[in-house]
Amino acid sequence: MKYEPVIGLEVHVELYTKSKMFCHDSADYFGKDPNTHVCPVCLGLPGALPVPNKQAIEWCIQIGLALNCQIPLLSKFDRKNYFYPDLPKGYQISQYDKPFCIDGSITLKNGKKIAILRAHMEEDTAKLTHSIIDGSSVSLIDFNRSGVPLVEVVTKPDFTSAQEVVDYLKKLQQIVRYLGVSSADMEKGDMRLEPNISLRKLGDKTLPLYKVEVKNINSFKFVEKSIEYEVKRQQEILESGEIPAQETRGWNELKQKTVSQRSKEEAHDYRYFPEPDIPPIRWTKTQLDKFRRALPELPTVKLKRFQSQYFLSEYDSEILTRDRQTADFFEEAVKAAKEVDLSAKQVANVIINTKPNLSSTLPATFIKSLITALPRNTMSNQDLKKLIGQIIVGNTKIVADYKSGNKNAIQALLGKAMAKTQGKIDPKKAKTILEELLN
């Protein structure tokens, strides 16, 4: 019997706002002395009242928009009730049936669209440390993280492999970094992943009757390993004629396996109800339009633009747009490079190959340092004409397209000429010659 994995994903992204979600304490707690970023609100003391962080909510909406979500005009906070020592109030302020963002998607490298059910806002819990002090085992609680804003992004169970999950996570990480709302460092716990995994018979369309959620995953590598481990484990159980238990498991890196933690709870176990201390939030269309306009250019759009504007390959554009800092540096460097007759392709090559230190080098200085080191546009007009002639002869389809009225087709021809010479020609000159020869 052949089985197919059915995988969904919940990701918690910690926002780097100045203050926490519902109080004034600094949210920048990483590496700080325990219990120094605390107040009555995030310690859950009786009578303390939450005040929502406007910046955090706006960033949650931005994440939703960048993930192609709908933003309902009415939203509210709810209490998710459960007992655990890291949750002093006995409930977490989260969102239940009216989240800020719904129905989005991320498109993977392989073209597959992963549906995003929702992106909602909630508060983080305190951090528990289990250790042995003077021979007895103790659990210590650090409340610095309590109340730090989180955005939880939940997908449909659309993944069928660990590879797809990792690809999705990299895209999500890239998007929140582009937005500048989270550092999304996995090692620091800024991005926490919980895949839920089950198997169904190949060809089945319905969802399996059970699912296994894996917690405590803090790297792309571990998510991959834990999914692969679960697929194998569940397959063996199914093949023996049993059904795997619905449960929450944890990834144990030392043992290289998942271990059972507790039976999986259902939504009704949490007794969700509306948070009485925070009124519902209503957006106007004007406010949402403003958020939409404030979005920066996102990675997929930038990637396409780099290919068409600078005649770069998809590969080069992908490397240069991986983070905003590199992309901005490249574009500034191209501007500076124009004056000294270096092409965008040359600039791209050097940035990709030499990986300059972006925070200590200015693009213009970087370009100056290149002038002596790089081959210049040495091709004579005659050679350039000859080369363009060859491109025209070799690309009859594009030429026909151009002659039938699609003037943009000339960019494709120019791209071919740039690629053929590895960018060592002047695109302006080449374009003029192309136009001459084609008209």
Which residues would be at the binding site for Mn ion (CB under 5 A)? 152
To the nearest whole angstrom, how small is the minimum distance from the Cβ of residue 122 to Mn ion? Answer: 5
Among residues 217 and 433, whose Cβ is nearest to Mn ion?
217
**Closer to Mn ion at the Cβ: 14 or 152?**
152
For Mn ion, the closer of residues 125 and 317 by Cβ is 125
Smallest gap from Cβ 7 to Mn ion, in A, equals 18
Minimum separation from the CB atom of position 187 to Mn ion (A):
20
Q: Which is nearer to Mn ion, 96 or 210 (CB)?
A: 96
User: Of 69 and 433, which has the nearer Cβ to Mn ion?
Assistant: 69
SS in 3 state form for the chain? CCEEEEEEEEEEEECCCCECCCCCCECCCCCCCCCCCCCCCCCCCCCCCCCCCHHHHHHHHHHHHHCCCECCCEECCEEEECCCCCCCCCEEEECCCCCCEEEEEEECCCCCEEEEEEEEEEECCCEEEEEEECCEEEEEEEHHHCCCEEEEEEECCCECCHHHHHHHHHHHHHHHHHHCCCCCCCCCCCEEEEEEEEEEECCCCCCCCCCEEEECECCHHHHHHHHHHHHHHHHHHHHCCCCCCCEEEEEECCCCEEEEEEECCCHHHHCCEECCCCCCEECCHHHHHHHHHHCCCCHHHHHHHHHHHHCCCHHHHHHHCCCHHHHHHHHHHHHHHHHCCCCHHHHHHHHHHHCCCCCCCCHHHHHHHHHCCCCCCCCCHHHHHHHHHHHHHHCHHHHHHHHCCCCCHHHHHHHHHHHHCCCCCCHHHHHHHHHHHHC
Nearer to Mn ion (CB atom), residue 27 or residue 414: 27
Q: How far is the CB of 80 from Mn ion (least distance, A)?
A: 8
- Least separation in angstroms between residue 12's CB and Mn ion is 6
Q: What's the min distance (Å) between Cβ of 189 and Mn ion?
A: 13
Nearer to Mn ion, 25 or 152 (CB): 152
Q: Which residue is nearest to Mn ion (CB)?
A: 152
Q: How far is the CB of 79 from Mn ion (least distance, A)?
A: 13
